[in-house]
Structure 1
Amino acid sequence: MKTNSEVQIRDPYVVPMPEEGKYYLFGSTDANIWGKGTGFDVYVGTDLERWEGPFPVFRPGEDFFSEENFWAPEVYPYGGRYYMFATFRRRSNKLLGTAVLAADSLTGPFQLHSDGPVTPVDWPCLDGTLYVDEAGQPWMVFCHEWTQVLDGEICAVRLSADLREAVGEPVVLFRASEAPWVTRLDAKSTDAGDVFVTDGAFLHRAEDGTLLLLWASFHENRYALGFAVSASGHIEGPWVHEPEALFQADGGHGMLFRTFDGRLMLTIHSPNRTPNERPLFLPVAEQGGRLRLADK
């Protein structure tokens, strides 16, 4: 059994299973996520404080298309199975991309479902997240990385019904610099231009129907988490940014879920430094289609 202070994890993602009374905690679990990829593990707990595990849920075979940078697994129930959206660095061109894996159980084993990444082959992309719209159309929202465009983008692309491939061309939802709370990342900005980071997108439909998009970037060179609101209520936006970040204390890459007693909970990793990153669980309140951190 491990406590949160003992769990090294980035990009935490929680799947609550009320019928079991258990939470399944996924994330980037390699001790050095910047190097060779080992795979993904899951932790299982009942109170968001103590966890059994880690239990292996994915390990790559020798013919897997990537061998480094295994990041940000998100797991969704869909069509009677569980689908994992995760980021990997391709062997072929060394660009990051999000691929889809599948399993019959939350504890795996997850196996490659898509034909490699479903993000554009010539784009460096990461942190794909699944969104199913009002018509039942699945989308993947993902980050087009600053390493290619300098001003990082949040993009969306339709997926086939079986989640195996992208359908059509990606659309840009917004760029990082459009958010008032985002500042340039000094450590990466060069004569080529200022760098603005997009990271860790996640969609949330508020109780009043408002569509929100959480995402991470940097504020005064510290990792931070903010959100935007879709003015139309649809994935295409336009997206209106909150002026202030929701969390600014060196933490981000968040997602929202409901606890078994009905509370809305945000999980992020903090600090944003390896090997010190740990999962945080922060109660959140909805007010008029907006989010605020709530008292515990």
Structure 2
Amino acid sequence: MTLNEINIRDPFVLPYEGKYYMYGTRGATCWGECDGFDVYVSEDLTLWSDPIEAFHKPEGFWADRNYWAPEVHYYNGSFYAFVSFKSQDRCRGTQILKSDSPTGPFLLHSDGPVTPSDWECLDGTLYVDNDGQPYMVFCHEWVQVKDGEVCAILLSSDLKKAISEPILLFKASEPHWSRGVKNGPNYVTDGPFLYQPDNSYRNGPLNTTANKSKKDTFNKPLVMLWSSFSDDGYAQAIARSESGKITGPWTHDEQLLYSKDGGHGMLFHTFEGQLYLTLHTPNVTLKEHPIFIPVRDENHVLTVEYNQ
């Protein structure tokens, strides 16, 4: 398959042992009932396998819809999927799954969502700080708070549960370009992803203790990709913590990374060292697909090599 033939939202690419594994939200069932998510495998980022089901809804599972934004991280020898789920009578939340293989099958790991049970949440992502402490960064949804929030929560070392209250990092309305949507002053936060310049993997996993060095990361900024809406529609934005700490304080880049009808992106390096942004575009049901855009990282300033 080619990227144009793959109808997914929220693409996430894991490079691992010479192959690229791409996960995402199934476009056809994004807004309704769902029973799993898939992985696509490639050796060259051009031709991809047919979808391989990496997770299938187990009998008695609490969620029956909106299996959103699966991210797979290699952590302490296993593969962990952070996935948002929803049912008619429970809040949306991010639950953690586990597998011994990047293609699955992924099995339930955390006991339900690790986000607060009475919060509408989505798009959890893993970040491991310089002391080896795992966090999950996630969105507290606009559908509940109107001004969407990006929050962080401490996880246990085995990624089975949250061990702190959520920490508010920033709100969607803060950057000057942010625009309210959905028939009112509602501001969206989507798809946080953490990137530490000069300290991401080239041929191995990102954000694991094996790739962290206090000496290498001291006083380096921590960059977060996230998405919301601007005057031109769905957009890919950058926030940064100049302290290099997840707690911030967080500021927002004036310039959007991708400004028109595309977002929920992440960054990855090829095995040859090229940095890429992947996101889905257009933001239209059944038409969305992943694209890959070369990115330059010059003194911690990210720019895309793409004519929008």
Given candidates 257, 270, 278, the residue that maps to 2:281 is 270
Deviation at 1:53, TM superposition (A): 1.6
Equivalences for residues 1-296 of structure 1 within 5 A: 2-17=1-16, 19=17, 21-93=18-90, 95-185=91-181, 188-190=182-184, 194-207=185-198, 209-220=220-231, 222-294=233-305
Instruction: Return 5+ residue gaps in structure 1 as ranges.
Output: none
TM-score when scaled to structure 1?
Answer: 0.94
Q: Deviations over 1:171-206 (max 9, x none)?
A: 100001111221111xx133xxx0110000000000
Letter in 2 for 1:189: N
Deviation at 1:30, TM superposition (A): 4.9
RMSD: 1.3
Deviation at 1:90, TM superposition (A): 3.5
Instruction: Please give the alpha-carbon distance, in whole angstroms, between the structure 2 residues aligned to 1:118 and 1:25.
Output: 24
Would the aligned equivalents of 2:11 and 2:264 in 1 still touch at CA under 8 Å?
yes
Deviation at 1:79, TM superposition (A): 1.4
Instruction: Please give the alpha-carbon distance, in whole angstroms, between the structure 2 residues aligned to 1:243 and 1:295.
Output: 18
Which is richer in strand? 1
Which secondary structure does the structure 1 equivalent of 2:265 belong to? strand
TM-score when scaled to structure 2?
Answer: 0.91
Q: Deviations over 1:30-59 (max 9, x none)?
A: 512100012011000112121012011100
Instruction: Please give the alpha-carbon distance, in whole angstroms, between the structure 2 residues aligned to 1:280 and 1:286.
Output: 19
| Matched residue count | 287
Instruction: Please give the alpha-carbon distance, in whole angstroms, between the structure 2 residues aligned to 1:69 and 1:269.
Output: 17
Q: 1:189/1:295 Cα in 2 relative to 1: closer, same or farther (>3 Å)?
A: closer
Deviation at 1:288, TM superposition (A): 1.8
Q: Deviations over 1:134-185 (max 9, x none)?
A: 0000000000000111110000000000101111100100001111221111
Sequence identity (%): 52
